[in-house]
Amino acid sequence: MCKAGGLQEARRLLETSPDQDVKELATAVMWNISVSPTLKKDVLDTCLDTLVQRVLLPHAGLERRGEVYTNVQREIYWTVLFRNATGVIRSVSSCGDYARRRLRSADGLVESLRQIIQCAVDNSDLDGKAVENCVCTLRNLVYACQEVEDPAYLRRHAARATGGSGRGGTGAGCFGRRSSRGASSGSGASGKPGATSGAPTIIQRRLNGPPRGMDLLWQLDIVPLLLPIVADCTNPETLEAAAGALQNLAACDWQPSVDIRAHVRKERGLPLLVELLGLDADKVVQTAATALRNLAQDERNKDLIGKYALEALTGRLPGAPTPQGAPAPFNSSTSSETYAAVIATLYTVLKDNFEFSRHFLELGGVRLLMNSARDPAGRYGQKVSDFSWTLLVALWRIRELQPLLRQAGWTEAQFTPPKRSGSGVGGSGGKATPMGGPGMSQSGPGARQDSMPKSRLVARQAQPQQQGFENSAFSGDQQQQQLPMASRELTYAQVDKDRSVQQLHQQDAPAVDSWV
């Protein structure tokens, strides 16, 4: 179909047809073609500009006036055409760095996405398919955002995460190596050497006027745009994507990520992410845990997470007791990746901190780690075992904690991982996936093609099942699969909608560095 010019014809119909039904069918064709990984780039290059200019911008109510886009209408209508167009863009946003560059630089796209999400937040209309598409696209666009000024960022990040050259011995083991203080704080806007010299930096662009285009992706006001979704959304895809966007924004070394990490705290976003740990939605829990880990690179955030979130994190370890106190049965719905994400977050918070580690011991966390490290039944996988051993070794290295561990009946030998050929600390020869360079992980832009099972609906408070979760564009009565953003395993969950993030901005709210 593409070889016969089908994409160009679909684009022409979208541009010229006066019939709304024809436009809907044209965008459905684009959406279904974009399922194919080999055709995503063709869809992107052929259809993107038309989709943005003919559908997204008009539906978002934006008009260009001078150098910026201005909102000229207050209401957005969730039409089938709009849903299909956002679905196409969501689908192609998952095809790697080329797609990210192309989409970030598309005239009016970022402004449209932000305006659409803002209207959805203002109207408490967060659960529809079009909003899901927009938030998922946003999440993919902020993946590895430092690459816009530091093209070598991902290569350096990957090398650092796999333990590249450098200090050994007492490093973070399978959790990746921590960058130097200079590398973390950086110089200039990028926070890393090697930023592009030809294009203006973020600071230079700020001096030239208000932010626009891709710079809107990492402005501080994106945090209060995403937090109401984390607080109130009942669509698990959208919920996980909003948390994943925060995860990605906090994951880099450059100054915008440093600022974002602090701003999430000031906007009281940490408790909202911790609350997600209690959901029966594997991918949501995994994303929330990793977002907390990235945010914990800020020392004040780490202090607050250690004080207020240890119980929630410990409660997500393998074999953790139920809220009623009974030992939890083996839960096959929790993936090894989620367990590993939780342990990695605990490592970031507990390492070299006696007070937090003592509380972790009191919560029974050491016993749970011992079980998952040995894992005689092989239920949790090698990665979880390796991560558990790495954290256990780090705990024993806290000298003030050793008397308490001995008092609890533990011995040094129990904190020594078994030796395996070619392995490091409790290791698998470096085969376990590291959790990111300086303790940070990115939320990837991959995609999945299968439809998700509508099962295991667990709520913080009972809510009616939301409709419109299907991952498809429709052509007549035939439902065709499309490729949604960045998820491999996800179950449905319902989230308490009675809380509003607006409650966090009352006049009597506590200081910005408080937990609530």
Token pair of 25 as six digits: 């069918």
User: Which of 441, 470, 486 corresponds to the end of one domain?
Assistant: 441
Q: Is residue 252 part of a domain?
A: yes
Judgement on whether residues 157 and 141 belong to the same structural domain of the protein: no
Q: What is the DSSP letter of 163?
A: T
In a domain, 292, yes or no: no
Do 314 and 275 share a structural domain? Answer: no
pLDDT of residue 329: 55
pLDDT at residue number 183? 41
Are residues 116 and 233 located together in one domain of the fold?
yes
Written as tens digits, the pLDDT of the chain (516 aa) is 888 899 999 999 999 999 999 999 999 999 999 999 999 999 999 999 999 999 999 999 998 877 778 887 767 789 999 999 999 999 999 989 999 999 999 999 999 999 999 999 999 999 999 999 999 999 999 999 999 999 989 888 888 766 654 434 444 456 655 444 334 434 344 444 444 445 556 555 555 667 889 999 999 999 999 999 999 999 999 999 999 999 999 999 999 999 999 999 999 999 999 999 999 899 999 999 999 999 999 999 999 999 999 999 999 999 988 665 555 555 568 999 999 999 999 999 999 999 999 999 999 999 999 999 998 778 899 999 999 999 999 999 999 999 999 999 999 999 999 886 554 454 444 344 444 433 344 555 544 333 233 333 334 433 333 333 233 333 343 333 333 333 332 222 223 333 333 333 333 444 556 665
Asked whether residue 55 falls in the same domain as residue 128, the answer is yes
Q: Which of 441, 464, 482 is the last residue of a domain?
A: 441
Q: Are residues 184 and 280 in the same domain?
A: no
57: domain CATH number? 1.25.10.10
> Domain for residue 295, yes or no?
no
Closest CA to 10 of 19, 23, 18: 23
Q: What's residue 174's pLDDT?
A: 60
Question: Containing H/E element for 189?
Answer: none
Same domain (yes/no): 248, 143: yes
Position 401 in a domain: yes
Same domain, 137 and 22: yes
Q: How confident is the model at residue 64, as a pLDDT?
A: 83
Question: What phi, psi does 32 have (nearest 5°)?
Answer: -70, -35
Overall number of domains in the chain = 3
Tokens 């995609």 -> residue:
447
CA 149 to CA 126: how far, in whole Å? 32
Instruction: Indicate if 388 and 358 belong to the same structural domain.
Output: yes
Q: In the 8-state DSSP scheme, what is residue 516?
A: -
Distance, CA of 267 to CA of 119 (rounded, Å): 19
Is 239 in the same domain as 264?
Answer: yes
8 Å CB contact between 34 and 482: yes
Cα separation of 344 and 367, whole Å? 17
Asked whether residue 199 is domain-assigned, the answer is: yes
Residue 402 lies in a domain: yes
Domain boundary among 419, 441, 463: 441
pTM: 0.79
Q: Which residue has the tokens 């607006």?
A: 502
Pair (117, 252) in one structural domain: yes
**Inside any domain, residue 43:** yes
- Interaxial angle between packed helices 97-104 and 109-122, expressed in degrees from 0 to 180 and rounded to the nearest 10: 80
Same domain assignment for residues 145 and 196: no
385 and 255, same structural domain? no
Domain presence at residue 296:
no
Range of the domain at 332: 309-441
- Tokens linked to 198: 């030809």
- Confidence at residue 247, expressed as pLDDT on a 0 to 100 scale: 97
